[in-house]
Structure 1
Amino acid sequence: MKHTALFLSLAVIASLSACSSPPVRYHTLLAPASPAATTAHSVPFFIDVLPVGVPAQLDTSQLVIRQGDSGAVVLDNERWLSPLGEEIRTALFANLVQRLHTQDVSGLIRPTDIPVVRIHLQVRRFDSWPGQSVAFDADWSLSAVGKGDERERLLCRSQFTERAVGDDSAMLHAQQQSITRLAEHIATTAARWMPDRQGTCLTPPPQP
């Protein structure tokens, strides 16, 4: 009887704890597809988006937000659907595929008759201040993959800040917009660089 009573007591405590704990919410950087972002014609190359590097302090499934100049808070109940690096990669290649009207051949056998541009992204900063802004800073490179193309590379950098005035949804939208702007920058550059490998890093028009 004592063991039964103890078990029932523990079950009640666990049940009460579960009821009092806030639910875990999951988020993604993959924004809804925008028809306006699609190019009118397919580009004559495929893309290969490599795994994305992110700062160690952000390499977690929980959302990390900034407080003031030096504070940071890990939100245990606000989580990404996948690790942050994979979230960024998924959102980036989906956006690029739509903008360039091409195919991501990551993990597939590389075609021999169609050029491939390999995209390597290293995020240096992805800081979010709720109710204020989201700051994004990343280095990235384009590499033409194919016979005789091994040394043809272009190294670029993207830096921008998105306003995040409002509630938590405004911050998440600003984070998605950061990846959207990055994809616009990469797509614009790749479309002009790939034909003759003579272009330079190009920045899209400023956001209004």
Structure 2
Amino acid sequence: MMQMTTIRNRLAGAMLAMSIGMLGACSTPVQERYFVLSPDDVSGPSGNGKTAVMGIGPITIPSHLDRSQIVTRSSDNRLVINQFDRWAEPLDENIQRVLIENLDRRLHPQRIETFPWNSRDGVVWQIVVDIGGFERQPDGSVQISARWKIVNFDSGETVVSERFSDSMMPRDTTTEGTVAAMSDLLVRLSDSIARSYQ
């Protein structure tokens, strides 16, 4: 009888130790990681003189991307929201900042203003971008679809209006690889706008 009691006590002690260990593991916080899109460092020819003042914006994105978490697709109709991989700033602001840097290096405007601005800022050409999709797809590729236009700010006339769609395979399956591919797609979008602007 004494031996059975000893065995039960040992089993109970072992289970208690395992429970405490599991609780300790569960209480370890998962570290959030923060990401930003980045411009490239390519500079276009400066030409004979700087172009007029440009205004970039508004930049609009779908509501499902307008969140701090990075969103990917697991199917055409299902989104995956990563709770621990997040944007370090609002995605539309990050896209705007990257486009400003990329276009500044390609077009060398006299000045670039960010939306919203006022009449005293002297904006001549306004570049408006509406992002329709911008996420990693079920096959692992990253896709972007967008509409953009160049508007004469004084008259309100749209002088160029284009659709842009492109995709690329990231270097790996990590979030870092996905964000790097998204940055590269913004480079291609910037190139498309710059070609039409010149």
Superposition TM-score, scaled by structure 1 size: 0.73
In the alignment, which residue of structure 1 is the partner of 2:66? 59
In 2, are the aligned partners of 1:131 and 1:170 still within 8 Å (CA)?
Answer: no
Q: Residue type matched to 2:134 in 1?
A: F
**1:82 Cα deviation after fit:** 1.2
- What CA distance in whole angstroms lies between the structure 1 residues aligned with 2:191 and 2:162? 13
The offset of 1:57, in angstroms, is 0.9
Q: 1:175: which partner in 2?
A: 182
Residues 1:74 and 1:152: Cα distance change in structure 2 (over 3 Å): closer
SS at match of 2:185: helix
One of 122, 134, 152 as aligned partner of 2:130? 122
How does the TM-score come out when normalised to structure 2?
Answer: 0.76
SS at match of 1:21: coil
After superposition, what is the alpha-carbon deviation per residue over 1:98-151, rounded to whole angstroms, capped at 9, x for unaligned?
A: 11112212336323xxx62101111111121387211110011101123xx332
Query: What is the identity, as a one-letter code, of the residue corresponding to 1:184?
Result: D
Task: Provide the rounded CA distance (Å) in 2 between the counterparts of 1:37 and 1:18.
Answer: 50
User: Which aligned pairs between 1:1-208 and structure 2 lie closer than 5 A?
Assistant: 20-31=28-39, 33-34=40-41, 36-41=42-47, 42-102=49-109, 103-106=111-114, 107=117, 109-111=120-122, 116-129=124-137, 132-146=140-154, 149-168=155-174, 169-191=176-198
Cα distance in 2 for partners of 1:60, 1:126 equals 13
**Relative contact order: is structure 1 or structure 2 higher (C-alpha 8 Å, sep ≥ 6)?**
2
RMSD between superposed Cα atoms in Å:
2.2
Q: Which runs of 5+ in 2 are unaligned?
A: 1-23
CA contact (8 A) 1:121 1:141 kept: yes
Please identify runs of 4+ aligned residues in structure 1 that moved more than 4 A.
16-19
Rounded Cα–Cα distance in structure 2 between residues aligned with 1:120 and 1:64 = 23
* CA distance 1:183–1:18, change in 2 (3 Å): farther
Structure 1 position 174, deviation (Å): 0.6
Return the alpha-carbon distance in structure 1 between the equivalents of residues 132 and 146 of structure 2.
5
Deviation at 1:173, TM superposition (A): 1.0
